[in-house]
Structure 1
Amino acid sequence: MTETSTDTAAGQVAERAPWPAGRYGRRRERRGLSRPAVLALAAVAALVFTLIGVRLYSAYGDGDYTASVTKFDEITDTQVVVTFLIRMPADGEAVCLVRARDKNGAEVGQQEVAVRPGPEPERTMVTHRLVTTARPVTGEVKGCHPA
């Protein structure tokens, strides 16, 4: 049997390129986004986040008008009496959305209630009788806003 040498004359193994040189052209260098494109994307992102922030503030941000239910009672097949405490500015009036839900969570009654500040506007107590279409299990205030 004859021996075949894989060594070159210098005693090292010859390295092969993965592709034959010059056959497929040269590789393109990866280019990033241009500076104007990056600035335009940043401006669009800032605008989108600003619009989202405005939308969220209009839905949840007005802390001057807050309400919390203190009790709901006198539950029958056609009504619930909801008592809630509302905090509002001394010179303001509010409109609160009061609703009732049944045992499955479906809304069975809803009404907007106009509220004027009491002697202590920070602690105005309101009692409202809400008419329902079915027997409710809860009465709640969904939210309040300036009138």
Structure 2
Amino acid sequence: MPESPTPRRRWVLVLVVAAVAMLVGAAAATTVFLVVGRGDQHQYTVNVFLTHDVTAEQKAAIEAALAGLEPVEGIRFESREQAWQHFKEMVEDRPDLVGQVSADALPESYRLTTEGREFDCGRLVPIRGLPGVDEIQVIQRPTEGRAGAVVSCGG
């Protein structure tokens, strides 16, 4: 007949089994949190349209403030001429529209992309109040299986 473990060895064995079970449980909980708790990351395009009378100093202040949104691909400036070229490409199959718009009618703008589970519109409040800012538009980029959307940030 096999000899039963002494009470002290039995407690050591129970403690070792309990410690291993706790470590396995903690690892499983951490894995679940990292996979489920992180949520989907989304990309957001932020377009900042400028007033027609914006000054170089105002542009510099706006660009500096936009850096606080942590752009993932840098901040891009689009001149009126670049906006005009972009507009013509978008409506190339509608020449009647091209004749109704000129480069002077289109605003200069800054564009950037930022990432996150959701977009915090509160980060736009200080930018919206800067001289030279006419309008701010935020667009959630489409992902596989999910359409893009305009994010309503008010104002």
State TM-score, norm by structure 1. 0.29
More helix by share: 2
More strand by share: 1
Does 1 or 2 have the higher relative contact order (CA < 8 Å, sep 6+)? 2
